[in-house]
Amino acid sequence: MNTLLETDFTLTAAGTAPVSAALIGELNAVCDRVEDAADGDLLVLHLTAGAAGAADGEAETHAEGVHLINKWERALRRVERLPVATVVLADGVCTGAAAELLLATDYRIAGEGLRLRLPSAGGATWPGMALYRLATQLGVAGARRLALFGAEVDAPTALRAGLVDEVAADPAEALAARRTLFAGARHGDLAVRRRLLMDAAATGFDDALGSHLAAADRAQRRALHA
């Protein structure tokens, strides 16, 4: 189980699946469907534990070349720019591509058995954009152990660190209770607010002001015509 399985706007991936051309193709195909659709507010990513030893393929995958990794990073960037809310349901071992997918999403619900660690190659943490996402989301201090030493964290630790938003015995039930939170995401400019948040760490106040004013004007106009 090393590829994504597509069903409507839902993806299921093995928690230890390495990056592969097939995985990239299926993720891009789902992004195409989400972007082309007129309606729908939610993309759900189910990340479940893979077979024992599946993570051993990570180093081999990364060794295939930087071109494959570049395509993977571009696919993750598409996820970060989708017009819908992106939610992860993760349980069991979550590493490799699954860990990178988790870091690219808006809302993360972990099962009680979650064990999260960054992908690795040659016995060391893989120096991909997951490190960048960790640092921007948690700060350097919060990301240090995961990024430098490949530390594995369980569900309670991930929650305290801010890597996940909630821990539940049944992540699917927890999502059902949260669905109203994501209503209207597509037509409510969620993608604009997400981009403003992501740009904030690297943009000065004066440079950011114009983008925020434009977004506020758009929101005000939408409210007046609601």
What's the pLDDT tens digit per position in 126-157?
888 999 999 899 988 989 988 899 889 999 99
Domain identity same for 155 and 174: yes
Of the chain, the percentage scoring pLDDT greater than 90 comes to: 46
Domain identity same for 168 and 205: no
The SS3 call for residue 11 is: strand
What's the pLDDT tens digit per position in 45-101?
998 875 444 444 454 444 457 888 899 999 999 999 999 999 999 999 998 889 999
- DSSP result, 184-195: TTTTTTHHHHHH
In this prediction, residue 174 has a pLDDT band, given cuts at 50, 70 and 90, of very high
Domain identity same for 141 and 205: no
Domain identity same for 148 and 121: yes
Domain identity same for 55 and 150: yes
Domain identity same for 137 and 26: yes
Domain identity same for 157 and 216: no
Give the count of domains, the chain.
2
60 closest CA partner among 28, 1, 100, 20: 20
191 closest CA partner among 84, 57, 91: 84
Query: Greater confidence, 63 or 187?
Result: 187
Domain identity same for 156 and 210: no
139's CB contacts (< 8 A; 6+ apart) are none
Question: pTM for this one?
Answer: 0.85
Position 39 scores a pLDDT of 87
Question: How many whole angstroms separate alpha carbon 196 and alpha carbon 186?
Answer: 16
In this prediction, residue 114 has a pLDDT band, given cuts at 50, 70 and 90, of very high
Position 51 scores a pLDDT of 47
CATH number assigned to the domain comprising residue 166: 3.90.226.10
Domain identity same for 206 and 111: no
Domain, as residue range, for 114 = 5-182
How many beta carbons lie within 10 A of that of residue 55, not counting itself? 21
In this prediction, residue 201 has a pLDDT band, given cuts at 50, 70 and 90, of confident
Domain identity same for 59 and 153: yes
Label residues 113-128 b or e (16+ Cβ within 10 Å = b): ebbbbbbbbeeebbeb
